Amino acid sequence: MIHKKVIIAEDTINGIVEESNRHENVETGGLLFGKIIGEYIIILKTIHLSTNAKRTQIYFEMDEDFAINITKQMEKNNLAYLGNWHKHLGYGGPSNGDDKQAELFLIQNSHKRNYLSLIIDFYNNDYNLIATNYYFDEDEFRKKDIQIQRIVNIRELNNIFKRKRLNIRNFIDNLSKNIEVHTGKTFIHSQSNQLKNYKLCYEEIYDLHNSESMSKNKIVYSVFIKFPDLNISMADKISIGVTLDHKFTRIVEEIPFSDIFFNIVELLPKIKNIFNKSQYYIKILLHSDDKQENNDFKNRLKIVNIIFSTLKSLSVFNIHNAKAKNVN
Ligand SMILES: [Zn+2]
């Protein structure tokens, strides 16, 4: 196995120090979430708030139900459970108990290849960070001290990984599941035959019964997320946008893939926003029709108001529903 390395941002370390100071003279800890890319274990999020945790001078035990729930939530956001951090009161690296706990975790969760333990060891008025990677090599349980690379903030990740290419099939599958959970909308996956483009797309059809002069009385409005390739470079951009009647396209935003992959930019609120603003985008797209068919355009303008009222009554995205789903 290649030697792993941990990347952690100063903000995250500050959070760990703060939480440690909140529980004076006892051990405390939390969960670590993030990504593993090649030899890098990247900590992107820590969770400390564990009200039912047991804290003593030599012992810290987390509320297991809480941990399982949080992990499920994080996985929905494409963040993997990496391991735990916990505080030591000046006795150095992992104890036998810590090692045993890591071993047990890897045995019980055989789909996990690594378990990261981050210890913040306080002595005098200072602290030391100790990272240990646990894993099974063949059938042998292994433990390795690993290097910690401190970065100022997670934006630095864009520089570290800009040349890295990734297969993003799993990422896209997770993303579409996540969108479905939060919006109730199922995005269809499609890959272009000629190009390498991969697209997630959601269509809504609006019936325009009241428009006598229209040659057709249905309008197809779709929201898409387009990836340039399934094998993507971190510097590649993905585009989100809307299409009307499969003809008129507007790209709403292009975002570097790394920003999304490292959760620097959240895609979900952007998608929700496109649904919320669909009236606005339909109007723009109808205008773009202007040059081609002037007469048809006039007719279409007439029906803009009709579309608006249809959209309103359909309530393209119901925030209250999504929130309720989220809680469950
Ligand atoms: Zn310990």
Ligand 1 centroid from CA 12, angstroms: 20
Q: What does the alpha-carbon distance between residue 115 and residue 93 come to, in Å, rounded to a whole number?
A: 15
Q: Going along the chain, which residue ranges are E strands?
A: 5-9, 29-37, 40-47, 54-55, 60-61, 80-88, 114-123, 126-137, 140-151, 165-167, 188-191, 198-207, 218-227, 231-233, 237-244, 248-256
Give residue 324's pLDDT band: very low, low, confident or very high (50, 70, 90).
Answer: very low
Name, in order, each residue with C-beta under 8 angstroms of 153's C-beta and a sequence gap of 6 or more.
Answer: 9, 10, 11
Mean pLDDT over residues 258-269, rounded? 91
Residue 189, pLDDT above cutoff 60? yes
- Cα of 17 from ligand 1 centre, angstroms: 16
Place of tokens 């393209």: 316
Q: Which of 23-27, 184-188, 210-214 has the lowest mean pLDDT?
A: 210-214
- The rounded Å distance from CA 98 to ligand 1 centre is 5
Report the DSSP pairing between strands 114-123 and 80-88: parallel
Helix (H, G, I), strand (E, B) or coil at 311: helix
Q: Region 300-319: what's the mean pLDDT?
A: 52
- What separation in Å is there between the alpha carbon of 95 and the centre of ligand 1? 5
pLDDT of residue 114: 92
- Determine contact, residues 162/21, Cβ cutoff 8 Å: no
Interval between CA 93 and ligand 1 midpoint (Å): 7
As a whole number, mean pLDDT of residues 20-36 equals 88
Taking the centre of ligand 1 as the mean of its atom positions, its distance from the CA of residue 11, in whole angstroms, is 23
Range with the largest mean pLDDT of 137-141, 216-220, 239-243: 239-243
Q: What is the whole-number distance in angstroms between the Cα of residue 237 and the centre of ligand 1?
A: 42
pLDDT confidence band for 285 (50 / 70 / 90): confident
45-61 burial, b if ≥16 CB within 10 A, otherwise e?
bbbbebeebebeeeebe
Considering the domain 5-154, what is its CATH architecture? 3-Layer(aba) Sandwich (3.40)
Ordered by start, the domain boundaries in the chain are 5-154, 166-327
Cβ(186)–Cβ(202) below 8 Å: yes
| Contact in structure between 81 and 74 (CB atoms under 8 Å) | yes
Gap from CA of 82 to ligand 1 centroid (Å): 17
Distance (Å) from CA 128 to ligand 1 centroid: 13
Distance in Å, CA 87 to ligand 1 centroid? 7
Ligand 1 center to 104 CA (angstroms): 15
CA of 59 to the centre of ligand 1 (A): 7
d(CA 140, ligand 1 centre) in Å = 22
pLDDT in tens, 43-77: 999 998 656 667 666 666 777 788 888 899 898 88
* pLDDT on residue 278: 87
Sign, Cα dihedral of 22, 24, 28, 29: positive
Compute the mean pLDDT over every residue in the chain, rounded to the nearest whole number. Answer: 83
Q: How close is the Cα of 60 to the center of ligand 1, in Å?
A: 8
Could you tell me the distance, in angstroms and rounded to a whole number, from the CA of residue 4 to the centre of ligand 1? 21
Structure-token match 């979900």, residue found: 268
Query: Is pLDDT at 26 greater than 60 in this prediction?
Result: yes
Q: How far does residue 320's CA lie from ligand 1's centre (Å)? A: 43
